[in-house]
């Protein structure tokens, strides 16, 4: 008897690791992070994805990205840079998420600066929306974008986590 085609497809993997900022959960599929954030609730991570992008099958297990999280928190801030991510969105969103990965730790941008880096200096609201829709937090470091004047602005995982990440990166 031949197995059903779905049985041949490896399920996505979800893993929660401890960090100084609390539990951090990673959803990874075929070696790429789809979503992540500071929660132990797997449903909160899956909820960051559009319904069409949620994997059919998810199992608890070990992710490749967990080692990069541990290295980041141990002081290797560049460890997250090479972790593959997979995001679905508009052309502008995808360009924005790629640009977020270019922001140097310890050198955050304002939303205005981020919009300018995208080639659309007047598109500040669009830049903020790109950050808000970023599912693989930390690996696509939207926490490195601030309000004009340096105020933290929003962050899906809480301002205390954002403040902690920025303080860690400022020491680099």
Could you tell me the CATH number of the domain that includes residue 35?
A: 1.10.10.10
Concerning whether 131 is annotated as a catalytic residue, the answer is: no
pTM: 0.92
DSSP code string of 6-47: HHHSPPEEEEEEEETTEEEEEEEETTEEEEEES-S-HHHHHT
Domain limits for position 149: 5-170
Q: pLDDT of 25-62, one tens digit each?
A: 999 999 999 999 999 999 999 999 999 999 999 999 99
Q: pLDDT of 101-145, one tens digit each?
A: 999 999 999 999 999 999 999 999 999 999 999 999 999 999 999
* H helical segments located in the chain: 5-8, 42-46, 66-73, 91-100, 111-117, 124-132, 159-170
Residue 159 to residue 157: CA distance in whole angstroms: 7
Domain tally, the chain: 1
Select which of 17, 34, 58, 142 is catalytic: 142
Q: Where do we find the tokens 């959960």?
A: 25
């Amino acid at each position: 008897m031949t197995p059903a085609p779905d049985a041949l497809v490896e399920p996505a993997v979800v893993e929660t690791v401890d960090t100084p900022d609390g539990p951090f959960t990673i959803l990874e599929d075929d070696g790429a992070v789809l979503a992540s954030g500071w929660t132990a609730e797997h449903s909160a991570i899956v909820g960051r994805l559009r319904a069409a992008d949620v994997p059919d099958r998810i199992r608890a297990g070990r992710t490749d990205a967990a080692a990069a999280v541990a290295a980041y928190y141990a002081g290797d801030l560049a460890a997250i840079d090479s972790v593959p991510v997979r995001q679905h969105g508009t052309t502008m969103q995808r360009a924005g998420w790629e640009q977020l990965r270019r922001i140097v730790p310890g050198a955050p941008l304002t939303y205005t600066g981020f919009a300018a880096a995208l080639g659309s200096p007047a598109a500040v609201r669009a830049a903020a929306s790109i950050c808000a829709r970023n599912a693989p937090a930390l690996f696509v470091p939207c926490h490195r974008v601030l309000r004009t004047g340096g105020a933290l602005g929003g962050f899906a995982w809480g301002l205390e986590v954002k403040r902690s990440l920025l303080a860690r990166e400022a020491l680099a």
